[in-house]
A = this chain, B = another copy of it.
């Protein structure tokens, strides 16, 4: 496994890195009277070539992170939404493709003036979301930070963690992004697109350094850190969650299975495992598991701030 310091030394920070961190720092300062949560969301990519045409990607639409952002905003938190570019974003995640255009009505009046308004039958869905979004924006409680590649993600995570360190226990890190476990070191990448006439290539992957270790012990030692563990095999989920807690000494792992993650999560701490599930009625009526999860985490964050967790 690559040492994390070696990894950072091999990759340049993303474009506009300093500008992004300055914005995040201003955001954090203007929310110093509020609790603040960093939510990471979506998958990271690992390039297979320098001129990137192909990459290995981790599956994640970004549902968990974007949905949770809405519920944290609803409860008064300031949210740093650090997401894979083009993954789902809060509020707009409810509309795919041409949904929003289909809600709009064009009118030309007799003077030839055009106006566009939302059709009345779309108001019940759109108005509450738009209201919550506008409130969060007007109170400066939402900032977005985008990433695509694994190295951009790791740079931004360390940078934002450095800003949040100043918030102490007021800060929560909700690390829902699906981060690659494997990568190809920059110095082993071919310069140009792999040519198929050379025959099918064999790709050797390296293990990504476990970034939770420096994150918890060095970067944000006082923050409430929550990591996620996604598996497809339920026989190893809980033991892997405990392995992570033992190793990194943070407070909580949210365990979930790919097959059931939309209605069942397990909160695993060193001393207990708490199941959160949606009832069939809740699923039917469109309740999201993130609503329950965020409510539970906000309670635990209070205990954590009081020193009782």
Q: Interface on A for B, CB 8 Å cutoff?
A: 45, 48-49, 51-59, 61, 86, 89, 91-92, 97-98, 100-101, 104, 106, 114-118, 123, 126-127, 130-131, 133-134, 144, 178, 180-182, 192-194, 196, 199-207, 230-233, 258-259
Contacts and interface: CB of A to CB of B under 8 A. Distances in A.
Given A116-B117, A127-B106, A86 B89 contact: no
Given A106-B134, A123-B116, A182 B205 contact: no
B182 A196 contact: yes
Contact of A178 (B53, B58, B61, B114): B53
Given A91-B98, A101-B92, A53 B48 contact: no
A231 B193 CA distance: 7
Given A53-B232, A130-B104, A203 B202 contact: yes
A44 to B, nearest CB: 11
A130 B104 CA distance: 8
* A45, A118, A126, A199: residue with the most chain B Cβ atoms closer than 10 Å: A118
A57 B59 contact: no
Nearest to A210: B196
B116 A101 contact: no
Contacts of A52: 59
